[in-house]
Amino acid sequence: METKLKCKDCGAMILVSTVARNGGVCMPCKSGRRKSIEAAEEHYAQDRERDRTCPFRALWKELVDRVYNQPGGFEALSAAEKQYFSVRVLVGEVYNGGFEQYFHNSSADYYEYAEAGLMRIGSKESLALLRASRAVVFGDDDVPAERSQRWLRLRRMGNPQALDLLDSRFCADPDSLDAKLERFAHDEGLVKHG
């Protein structure tokens, strides 16, 4: 068994052969990745702390659990919970992959609730962008309930670049959605404090 020594920069235990090859430092320190690794660890530690202390994160986790793991699922939520959940899903999908991803995934199953939620919290610009994206993909038609029908319409979409502009405008957050959703959750009694 090969002996290990401490990296002279970070103190991690590394093989003697690595010490000799890298001038006494571990591979992450030599490549410059150590700082990004430490920054990521700090970020995740802060994220875990927010998971424990943020009432809005607790609400989101509770709703996801109820929708996907509890009897009744989405239908068992109150009207306010459905709207909050649907707008949060919309935001997550568009920020992650745009309106195309939103309509492609099961997230668009909640389109009507997302629309109603945006209206209820007074997010006029975000609502207009959601409706414009629907029009790009589905024209004057409603969003199909069946994912297979949505996929077909997405494949037939005439101008997919039109969604890119709408994605950018939505992600610019013209309505400060987080703040409005938090206020809504508080006013509707979905969170106890925050």
Neighbour-count burial for 162-189, b at 16+ CB within 10 Å, e otherwise: bbeebbebbeeeebebeebbbebbeeee
Dihedral over Cα of 29, 35, 40, 42: its sign: positive
64 and 27, same domain (yes or no): no
Confidence of residue 188 (pLDDT cuts 50, 70, 90): very high
71 and 111, same domain (yes or no): yes
pTM score, two decimals? 0.76
94 and 175, same domain (yes or no): yes
Determine, yes or no, domain membership for 179.
yes
Q: Does residue 161 or residue 143 have the better pLDDT?
A: 143
Mean pLDDT score, 66-81:
97
Q: Which two tokens stand for residue 72?
A: 């009744």
24 and 113, same domain (yes or no): no
77 and 29, same domain (yes or no): no
42 and 135, same domain (yes or no): no
Residues 113-137 pLDDT 10s = 999 999 999 999 999 999 999 999 9
73 and 44, same domain (yes or no): no
Determine, yes or no, domain membership for 109.
yes
Q: Which domain holds residue 19?
A: 1-53
Determine, yes or no, domain membership for 1.
yes
CA 188 from chain center: how many Å? 23
Determine, yes or no, domain membership for 194.
no
Determine, yes or no, domain membership for 106.
yes
62 and 45, same domain (yes or no): no
pLDDT at 56: 92
- Mean pLDDT estimate for the chain: 90
Report d(CA 4, CA 14) in Å as an integer. 5
Mean pLDDT score, 68-93:
97
Virtual torsion, Cα 124, 63, 76, 120, nearest 10 deg: -10
pLDDT at 193: 64
Mean pLDDT score, 67-84:
97
Residue 182 pLDDT > 90: yes
Closest of 153, 97, 99, 155 to residue 130, by C-alpha? 99
Determine, yes or no, domain membership for 18.
yes
**Number of folded domains in the chain?**
2
Residue 160 pLDDT > 70: yes
44 and 62, same domain (yes or no): no
10 and 74, same domain (yes or no): no
